[in-house]
Structure 1
Amino acid sequence: MIVLSPVEEAVLTARARSARAAHRDVVRARIVLGAADGASNARIAAGLGIGDDTVRKWRGRFAAEGLAGLEDRPRSGRPRRFTPVQRAEVKALACTLPAETGQPLSRWSSTDLAAEVVGRGVAASISASTVRRWLRGDAIKPWQHRSWIFPRDPDFAAKAGRVLDLYARTWEGRPLGDDEYVISADEKSQLQALQRRHRGTPATSGRARRVEFEYRRGGTLAYFAAYDVHRARVIGRIAPKTGIAPFTELVEQVMTTEPYASARRVFWVVDNGSSHSGWRSIERMRSDWPTAELVHFPVHASWLNQVEIYFSILQRKAISPNDFADLDALAARILRFQDRYNTAAEPFTWSYTRTDLNNFVNSLAEHAA
């Protein structure tokens, strides 16, 4: 005979009526409640649609251990096929370039890794799915790659640091005043006017927008843009091609527009493109506009140039997929988008600081060591 305490009865009743508890826990609770009501094992089994042995098992466990007896016993499970050392060796191999192992591969796949593991005698057999599961646990994906350029400017840290200081509104250790501005400038070259040979179709339910693959070339143009880093304002112009002359015209366009025309200083941060490279560009800027200061990024550091973010937005929202009747249509779209952007844009949330730069430079030093 099972006798329940008030606490046990309350717990088992709530468990037996629960819609969220595991089915096995509901069945076990009902077995014990039925036994407490004096029902026989056969009657309880028939009512729950289970075997007499199951009722006898859980009734006996509760009688011996109480509520704790209704929990599952620890199970040993299937013995591990692979040791921690074997797992570590597989992951280490995945972090090795295939060429370093003598294999004629540019990158590892899970199947290739499994074959290499067996070939090296690390394991007698292993499946590609097992390798993939282990690598997934540590977010290792040797079948993917990203391109990057190793900084080769000897003054990389110093030049990049100056720009990051300007983004943080400081220059040479002093905060910028309200009448000092930071302009990120560059050109987007070789913009093509591609006219599709057949008209595209808009998106419909269950079908993406369709764009004709074949096109007619309508020529190229360049778009020069100056982005005010802290005011999120873009001033730009269209030119037939890149060069010193169109960049000089952009500078004039900006420097004769308020508030830059009456500013105490306007910092222009630019990359090392031919339109504005070298000391001559700095001297030319100072000669033409005494309140302007040209500041160059390190070589191969356009990823620090905020106007590139604007260019990516322009490309994504206004140009791609490319379908323009001629260059005039392309130019009109770019300038109209510029006006639209200026009505609602806010400064980019720039979080890359000098601390991040220092960590990056240190990692480069470790990589080169």
Structure 2
Amino acid sequence: MPTITQLFQATATAAPIVLTPQDEAVLRARIRAGRTEQRDVLRARIVLAAARGDSNAAIAAHLGVHVDTVRKWRGRFALQRLEGLRDLPRSGRPTVFTDVQAAEVKAMACELPAESGLPLSRWSYTDLATEAVTRKIVESISASTVRRWLSGDAIKPWQHRSWLFPRDPDFAAKAARVLDLYARTWQGVALGDDEYVISADEKSQLQALRRRHPDQPAGPRRCRRVEFEYIRGGTVAYFAAYDVHHARVMGRIAPKTGIVPFTELVEQVMTTEPYASAKRVFWVVDNGSSHAGQTSIDRMKQAWPNAELVHLPVHASWLNQVEIYFSILQRKAIKPGNFRDLKHLAERVLAFQDRYNTTVTPFKWNYSRSDLNELLRRIADHQTAQAA
């Protein structure tokens, strides 16, 4: 580490600069990089100009800085090479809060406010700052300081996510066989090229909402505006079958859900190639009333001998890949809705289906049996802890 005297001597004169190929490559890369901080770009330009033999005054005039700035970084580089272009350590502003105080506020953010007798369901930054003062953790603190602490530790007490315990006694077995199908195996045997996996479900209560006033398109410094008030135009149901490994969606619109429209969807798919002549077609479905229970399995097998209905566990629609497609449909084609009538809504849904089939590839499904086993292990540990 150079002494203060050495630094002063190096910067007092126009130190000669000779660059190695490696140093020059690093400096030029800093200038070209779009994310380099401008202070580092300036220092690199100073050194490169000095290496060309330019005087300090000429460099300062060209870059629009004071000559002392050029002298400083030229001298630093001459003495320490690239390390000399770094800022020297600074003492910085004295800390106001201790690590213990910060940890106590973070611990408080991990609690539910109701546990402290507060009539709140979740914390805000301001609530946490106020409560920290009330509990005498700190004398005073701003909400922005709390926000900075929690952002650094990725604690977000204002967020929540709903979940539930699996209550299907055969959850592990039912979920595992569906995951096997996604991995193209069934009962330990790999699926053949003439065997297909269909993920099917219905999206009910699709509303034809017509806005009372026309939308306003986006403009300079203004996003698109959609009228809040609307007129209800009725509802329809959308039944869809998604070929898991070939990214193909086949669907139909029905006035409402039920066994009949689902049966019509199955017929639509099973009378279409390659499914009509397939060795087996596995239909992955949830436990909705349109396709629930052993009766639905028997009905499917009787109507289509090469079809196999496979039920997901109860409350496991998140394992049904067609739900991903429904989410995409909702975001891209339905929301925010502005439809003249039910016919307009149905046309939009089916037109999006056709467009989707021409542009997509299968979902990158990474959830496997090992992930399922890890989930069940965590749930078992949680239940054990609760019981204790």
TM-score range, shorter chain: 0.7 to 0.9
Query: Residues 11 and 365 of structure 1: is their aligned pair in 2 closer, same or farther, counting only changes over 3 Å?
Result: farther
Equivalent in the alignment of 2:106? 91
Q: Greater CA deviation, 68-77 or 171-180?
A: 68-77
Matched, 1:9 2:39: no
Matched, 1:250 2:250: no
State the alpha-carbon separation in 2 of the partners of residues 197 and 262 from structure 1: 50
Equivalent in the alignment of 1:214? 229
Deviation of 1:325 (Å): 2.2
TM-score by length of 2: 0.76
SS class of match (1:96)? coil
Equivalent in the alignment of 1:180? 195
SS class of match (1:9)? coil
CA deviations over 1:282-340 (Å, ceiling 9, x no partner): 12112222211111111221112111111122222222232222222222222222222
Deviation of 1:125 (Å): 3.2
CA deviations over 1:15-56 (Å, ceiling 9, x no partner): 9xx994569x99xx9xxxx9xxxxxxxxxxxxx798xxxx9x
Equivalent in the alignment of 1:203? 218
Deviation of 1:197 (Å): 2.9
State the alpha-carbon separation in 2 of the partners of residues 123 and 105 from structure 1: 21
SS class of match (1:10)? coil
Query: Residues 204 and 244 of structure 1: is their aligned pair in 2 closer, same or farther, counting only changes over 3 Å?
Result: same
Equivalent in the alignment of 1:40? none
CA deviations over 1:106-163 (Å, ceiling 9, x no partner): 1112222222223323333333222221111111111222233333223222221111
Query: Residues 366 and 89 of structure 1: is their aligned pair in 2 closer, same or farther, counting only changes over 3 Å?
Result: farther
Alpha-carbon RMSD across the aligned residues, in angstroms, is 3.5
Equivalent in the alignment of 2:378? 363
Q: Which amino acid aligns with 1:127?
A: S
State the alpha-carbon separation in 1 of the partners of residues 377 and 262 from structure 2: 35
Q: Which amino acid aligns with 1:290?
A: P
Equivalent in the alignment of 2:61? none
Query: Residues 134 and 216 of structure 1: is their aligned pair in 2 closer, same or farther, counting only changes over 3 Å?
Result: closer
8 A Cα contact 2:244 2:362, kept in partner: yes
Equivalent in the alignment of 2:347? 332
Query: Residues 236 and 20 of structure 1: is their aligned pair in 2 closer, same or farther, counting only changes over 3 Å?
Result: closer
Deviation of 1:75 (Å): 4.8
Structure 2 alignment gaps of length 5 or more: 1-7, 28-38, 56-65
Matched, 1:230 2:237: no
Matched, 1:132 2:139: no
- Whose Rg is larger? 1
Q: Which amino acid aligns with 2:209?
A: L
Deviation of 1:360 (Å): 1.9
Equivalent in the alignment of 1:43? none
Query: Residues 203 and 76 of structure 1: is their aligned pair in 2 closer, same or farther, counting only changes over 3 Å?
Result: closer
Identity across the alignment (%) = 71
Q: Greater CA deviation, 113-122 or 346-355?
A: 113-122
Deviation of 1:226 (Å): 0.6
Q: Greater CA deviation, 282-291 or 69-78?
A: 69-78
